[in-house]
Amino acid sequence: MMSEHTIHSNQIHEQGRQVLGDSRLQEAYRSSTLRLFTHRQAAVSEVPGFEQLRERARELKREIMDHLDFYLAQFAENVERRGGVVHWAESAEEARTVVTGIAARAGASEVVKAKTMVSEEIELNPALERAGIRPFETDLGEFIVQLSGERPAHIVAPAMHLTRHDVSDLFVRSMHSEPTEVPEQLTAIARRTLREKFARAGLGLSGANFAVAETGTVVLIENEGNIRFLTTAPRVHVALVGIEKLIPRLADLAVFLRLLGRSATGQKLTVYTSLLTGPRRPGEDGPEEMHVVLLDNGRIATLADEKMREMLYCIRCGACLNGCPVFRKIGGHAYGWVYSGPIGALVTPQLMGLQNARELPFASSLCGLCRDVCPVKINIPDLLLYLRGEVQERAPGPSPRGALLGERTLMRLWAWAMKRPRVYSFGSRLARWGQRLLARHGWIARVPMYPASGWTDGRDLPALAPKSFRERWKEIEKP
Ligand code: SF4
């Protein structure tokens, strides 16, 4: 599963701290997440029965995951019946080999790309470049992060971390354009650069928002029109599809479309919705060849985990990122890989290995907002808690604070004392006596020793009550 690219998910604390000290980044994340979140709130409040819609979407995803083998076979059969070619890729490496192979056979030296997180996940661009093929991102946000040499900062808004001023500077540096902070002018500069690429490229590459098993249709939604361009102008179209993107029937698409646009950007529907079923037929526009690459890369293993399989319901709307108090402060890059925010804290350990991302499940306040806004009702806090347990069991690491006593030992000691009332009572009396040096007005501002020192680094610790419950109970019981 692990590809050769870097993952820094275990440095989330250090990376997050750097972002907290950068007022420009703080403002960029604050304003963008707030805008998207507010738009979502307004959009969902207009839909009567939004809760039932979420429930229905969840049921449909459960149906797919319970019978994924059947629906995958049905989807593949229908793609091929309509003239498409299906490729199965078990790993990121296999997917890269398949795509570079298709591009080489098509004689394509340039590839125009839609925004696809799966392509980021498998590190496709470096692989294409190694094969002598130039990839061009055509989604505006992706185009910007490709120029700046960064990863997307958000699954829906890749350039969320950059201000208009940053983008203007970037365009001046890389395309020698006139400086401007007017969004329409910045868009026009990008469009001029990209237009010729669409016309020249031999291959267009997209992801898929949904893949309809009943018809073999790849569904793509967007606002800019670039996907429509790149799935029709080049001679070959390749759709990279994570196997969790399946939905059972075309009629079910209506449920997901009503949820996705509203949850992602607060739109009733995105500007363009493309339904692509096979390559062009006589008398039609479109590519001569259509290839669908179905990617596993750890998804089947997640499916086999009864608890974690719910994670595969995700439709990548980004709502949980926009609402998350942690994401809003530390942004996407601090998560150290492609997927960020609450869903990233689940996906990254699953796809990249628990050991490589063991800090991520702890990067949450467990406030539950992610669960409340999720259009498919994924119980993210519950899964994060489960993963925390898995980390302790299967991938324990050194404490980020360099603890003298391991947390595990401390917990064992705690459990031992809890089962012995006299020991517990003595311990709590000792702690109450000891805290006199530290407590002021019921709060402790700083504890010098781990693990409480980690807590007081960021907030105050409530002092122990002057009397224990048992002592107070005895007093109450007295006549
Ligand atoms: S977990 Fe839910 S809210 Fe978060 S991106 Fe996925 S579908 Fe959207």
Domain ranges for the chain, please list them.
9-300, 407-477
Question: Does the beta carbon of 211 lie inside 6 Å of ligand 1?
Answer: no
pLDDT confidence bin for 408, thresholds 50/70/90 = confident
pLDDT tens sequence across 290-328:
999 999 999 999 999 999 999 999 999 999 999 999 999
Collect all residues with Cβ–Cβ distance below 8 Å to 77 and sequence separation of at least 6: 216
369 alpha-carbon distance from chain centroid? 15
Question: Does the beta carbon of 111 lie inside 6 Å of ligand 1?
Answer: no
Residue 472 has pLDDT above 60, yes or no: yes
pLDDT at 6: 65
Nearest ligand 1 atom to the CA of 155 is: 5
Write out the DSSP string of 40-94: HHHHHHTSTTHHHHHHHHHHHHHHHHHTHHHHHHHHHHHHHHTT-EEEEESSHHH
Distance CA 110, CA 112 (A): 7
Q: Which two tokens stand for residue 109?
A: 């030296």
Domain 9-300 has CATH 3.40.50.10420: yes
pLDDT confidence bin for 1, thresholds 50/70/90 = very low
Rg for the chain, CA atoms, rounded = 26
Q: Are strands 203-206 and 236-242 parallel, antiparallel or unpaired?
A: parallel
Pocket test for ligand 1, best of 378, 380, 384 (most atoms within 8 A of CB): 378
Percent of the chain whose pLDDT exceeds 90:
82
pLDDT at 2: 41
Which has the minimum average pLDDT: 30-44, 429-443, 451-465? 451-465
Question: Does the beta carbon of 361 lie inside 6 Å of ligand 1?
Answer: no
Nearest ligand 1 atom to the CA of 311 is: 1
The 10 Å CB-count burial string (b at 16+, else e) for 53-79 is bbebbbebbeebbeebeebbebbbebb
pLDDT tens sequence across 221-278:
999 999 999 999 999 999 999 999 999 999 999 999 999 999 999 999 999 999 999 9
Dihedral (C-alpha) 223, 229, 230, 232: value to the nearest 10 degrees?
Answer: 130
pLDDT tens sequence across 359-394:
999 999 999 999 999 999 999 999 999 999 999 888
Residue 401 has pLDDT above 70, yes or no: no
